[in-house]
């Protein structure tokens, strides 16, 4: 009997075909939205699952003695997983690091540029037929090249952004992270470690690239926004909940910072209604890793984690170690 795999959301046909060689696959190409109880019931009938960042795997959906052996997330972030609960239930968790680093860094830079140079705001103006003549101050924004980029969270994606900023745009790069990079990495990124307060106060553009956790919840709120320059921009490509969206909307409304570029939101796909009303914010629907090539690489790696687990006993990019005999 082939192990049964549940692919939680629509995915590339080639990935389904690859899985079908070794597994009995339940797909969801129609994008059925599972109710929580239905999702838990489905998980209970499968040996493995390929999830996206919006599919929860935790004690509640797993139950006490799950049939499930592996959940392979098609994302580098894994705040949809309760990894300790998965480990004690004997469920391997895996994610998709590395394959999306450069693509996500590109998008981070696109949001910095779009926000600083007011690209979507000016496009809406043009499309609305409001462009009557050239003016010296029309959509005059903030400089990107030569300015100071602050990076909060300096993992793989943060470092890829730093390299673009320092080498391509001649920016001064400062960063804050739980742990400081070693000297070699700092030199490659031309990045200087600073405390969080200095980061907030000195950045012309502040980009968030840290994982979501209880510790990072609302780590940018009213108090942090108040420390930023009134000319600064804030970019979030990390996770919703890291920024207090209500406080950000208020700061943008009062022009306490100049602009924001957001790809992720608290409670997404809902977006704070006040953010939707503001012109000085660029809003995108969680697409930082969305190129065809990268999304295929992510889906392939997630599938390969499942294949490696069932054929060789270990995932390629695991997030936990499950005691022998549990798997
Ligand atoms: C995913 C992401 O597209 O990898 C991540 O952590 O945020 C995105 O690249 C998203 O989570 C869907 O799985």
The reply to whether 272 falls in a domain is yes
Residue 108's domain comprises 101-283
Do 151 and 254 sit in the same domain of this protein? yes
User: If you measure from the C-alpha of residue 217 to the centroid of ligand 1, how many angstroms do you get, rounded to a whole number?
Assistant: 18
Q: Which atom of ligand 1 is nearest to the CA of 288?
A: 9
Listed as ranges, residues in the chain with pLDDT below 50 are: 326-327
Q: What is the pLDDT of residue 323?
A: 82
Would you call 218 a catalytic residue per the annotation? no
CB 149 within 8 A of CB 191: no
Would you call 286 a catalytic residue per the annotation? yes
Do 107 and 212 sit in the same domain of this protein? yes
- Kindly name the residue from 239, 266, 272, 295 that is annotated as catalytic: 239
Do 75 and 115 sit in the same domain of this protein? no
Q: What is the pLDDT of residue 325?
A: 55
Q: Which atom of ligand 1 is nearest to the CA of 77?
A: 6
The residues lining ligand 1, judged by C-beta closer than 6 Å to any ligand atom, are 52-53, 74-77, 100, 288-289
CB 125 within 8 A of CB 139: yes
Q: Read off the pLDDT of residues 137-169 as tens digits, 9 standing for 90 and up.
A: 999 999 999 999 999 999 999 999 999 999 999
User: If you measure from the C-alpha of residue 132 to the centroid of ligand 1, how many angstroms do you get, rounded to a whole number?
Assistant: 41
Would you call 178 a catalytic residue per the annotation? no
Do 184 and 267 sit in the same domain of this protein? yes
Q: Name every residue whose Cβ is closer than 8 Å to that of residue 261 and which is 6 or more positions away in sequence.
A: 111, 112, 114, 115, 233, 234, 235, 236, 281, 282, 284
Do 176 and 83 sit in the same domain of this protein? no
């Amino acid at each position: 009997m082939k192990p049964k795999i549940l692919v939680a959301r629509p995915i590339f046909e080639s990935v389904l075909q690859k899985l079908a060689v070794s597994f009995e696959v339940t797909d969801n190409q129609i994008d059925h939205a599972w109710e929580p109880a239905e999702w838990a019931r489905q998980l209970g009938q499968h040996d493995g699952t390929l999830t996206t960042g919006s599919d929860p795997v935790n004690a509640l959906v797993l139950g006490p003695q799950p049939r499930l052996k592996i959940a392979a997330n098609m994302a580098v972030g894994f705040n949809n997983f309760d990894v300790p609960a998965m480990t004690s239930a004997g469920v391997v968790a895996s994610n998709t690091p590395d394959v999306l680093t450069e693509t996500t860094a590109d998008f981070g830079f696109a949001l910095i540029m779009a926000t600083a140079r007011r690209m979507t705001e000016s496009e809406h103006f043009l499309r609305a037929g409001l462009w009557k003549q050239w003016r010296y101050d029309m959509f005059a924004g903030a400089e990107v090249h030569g300015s100071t980029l602050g990076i909060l969270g300096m993992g793989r994606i943060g470092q890829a952004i730093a390299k673009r900023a320092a080498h391509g745009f001649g920016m001064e790069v400062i960063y804050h992270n739980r742990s400081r990079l070693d000297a070699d990495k700092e030199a490659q990124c031309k990045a200087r470690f600073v405390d969080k307060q200095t980061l907030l106060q000195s950045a012309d553009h502040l980009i968030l690239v840290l994982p979501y956790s209880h510790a990072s919840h609302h780590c940018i709120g009213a108090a942090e926004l108040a420390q930023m320059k009134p000319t600064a921009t804030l970019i979030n490509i990390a996770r919703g909940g890291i920024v207090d969206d209500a406080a950000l909307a208020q700061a943008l409304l009062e022009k306490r910072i100049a602009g924001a570029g957001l790809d992720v939101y608290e409670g997404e796909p809902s977006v704070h209604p006040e953010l939707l009303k503001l012109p000085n914010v660029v809003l995108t629907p969680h697409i930082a890793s969305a190129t065809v090539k990268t999304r295929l690489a992510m889906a392939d790696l997630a599938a390969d984690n499942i294949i490696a687990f069932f054929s060789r006993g270990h995932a390629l990019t695991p997030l936990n170690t499950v005691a022998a005999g549990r798997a």
